Amino acid sequence: MIPRYSRPEMTAIWSQETKFRIWFEIEAHATDALAELGVVPAEAARTVWEKGGPAVFDVERIDEIERVTKHDVIAFLTHLSEIVGPEARFVHQGMTSSDVLDTCFNVQLVRATDLLLKDMDGLLAAIERRAFEYKDSVCIGRSHGIHAEPVTFGLKMAEAYAEFARCRTRLVHARDEIATCAISGAVGTFANIDPRVEEHVAEKLGLKPEPVSTQVIPRDRHAMYFATLGVIASSVERLAIEIRHLQRTEVLEAEEYFSPGQKGSSAMPHKRNPVLTENLTGLARMVRAFAFPAMENVALWHERDISHSSVERMIGPDATVTLDFALARLTGVVDKLLVYPERMVANMDRLGGLVHSQRILLALTQRGVSREDAYRLVQRNAMKVWDSYQRAGAADVDFLTELLADEEVRAALSEEEIREKFDLGYHTKHVDTIFRRVFGRS
């Protein structure tokens, strides 16, 4: 988590202030439940809220106490007693530190996920807008980086939309995974605390009680959570790489936004680098990498060991802050992406109409020309076009013209028939179908 790749709202979730505030809420809700059960005085629970509720916990003071006690939760409770007074002794009864730490970590992850879901909604909205904007802008589809058949830029956006819609669903599942609360005591047996305390705290915090914990909340939940973030990061990478490809000089079908001012100031107008999407590519690598230690955290020894803790102190903030930043940055890139439909057509046309060779071949065979002959006819015209393209990167021979001038071809196909095979509408006729599938409208 470095400032350069952080946004304040997400960073705030991981601040010491937020952490202590959540600790307070867990303790105060638990005290309420203990009071309800008659374990501690109702008066005590009320006092905790009254004095602790409006209080600002002093991070430095808590650190100071921790340097003596070498225990963070005890340091917090000591500070709490400074604020609440003697009633504070009724707080935390029968609980273990992990009850507070693990539940707090999950609250933080839930809040982080809610932000990520908001990010995702923003991204989806941006993609959807651009998808409809360019629904019918034809561009060449490329397999293996080689021109294949036409698609539209809107379709590319529809694919991205469908992918991030899946990511959104995954994020909802991931949120469910970690939205649990454990207040179960030393080794999770509720020996010292009634399970109803857990139920109460869970409800108040919008969590579900962890069915069975072992002092800690089981880490397969977190492994699944961070693995999901890793998959989402991979989808971020995919769209980023698509844009980087579209922006490369020879393609230039789209560009990351630059202000007219930026443009005006440069003596090298060609040197506009896709630095945002390159940056996203790198950030995706990081978020993905964090999935690994999260998986290694699962196999804690017996009822718990604390090896997961140092990992989570790092990846908890790092993965969520980085992904939040990445989603927001990607949203901005998509939202303001400069799209060049004319250039898309120009790029396709530079191959002189070769993209239609398959349709001509098919038409010839359907007219009874043998497969070998059809190949020969198409090929001898295609090669003229290709040779001129290959030399200079733009064909100065036109496939349609050549075909129309080829007597053998014309013997099988009329001019009208040949021209019809060059109709781009053939390729885009189901764009609406696909849009309805993806967006529910077209």
Which residues have a catalytic role annotated?
144, 265
Choice between 54 and 271, CB closer to a second copy: 271
- Residue 13 Cβ vs a second copy, minimum distance, rounded to whole Å: 15
Minimum distance, C-beta of residue 111 to a second copy, in the bound complex (Å): 20
Closest distance of CB 49 from a second copy, Å: 25
Least Å distance between CB 50 and a second copy?
Answer: 26
Which residue number, 55 or 286, has a Cβ lying nearer to a second copy?
A: 286
CA distance 354 to 337: 29
Smallest gap from Cβ 94 to a second copy, in A, equals 10
Task: Measure the CA–CA gap between 370 and 368, rounded to whole angstroms.
Answer: 6
In this structure, the number of other CB atoms found within 10 A of the CB of residue 333 comes to: 22
Specify the DSSP class assigned to residue 143. Answer: E
Q: Between residues 314 and 405, which has the closer beta carbon with respect to a second copy?
A: 314
Whichever of 49 and 190 has its CB closer to a second copy, that residue is 190
Burial pattern 366-400, b for ≥16 Cβ within 10 A else e, equals eeebeeeebeebbeebbebbbebbeeeeebebbbb
Nearest to 348 by CA among 133, 140, 45: 140
Nearest Cα neighbor of 366 from 406, 413, 405 is 413
DSSP labels, 66-105: HHHH--HHHHHHHHHHHHH-GGGGGTTTT--HHHHHHHHH
**CB-wise, 155 or 328, nearer to a second copy?**
155
User: What's the closest the beta carbon of residue 132 comes to a second copy, in angstroms?
Assistant: 14
Of 83 and 383, the one with the shorter C-beta distance to a second copy is 383
Tokens for 136, please give them. Answer: 């019918």
Distance CA 138, CA 146 (A): 16
Classify 416 in phi/psi space as left (phi over 0), alpha (psi -120 to 50) or beta. alpha
Enumerate residues 6+ apart whose C-beta is below 8 A from 160: 127, 131, 239, 242, 334
Q: Is-contact 422 353, C-beta < 8 A? A: yes
| Tally of residues, the chain | 442
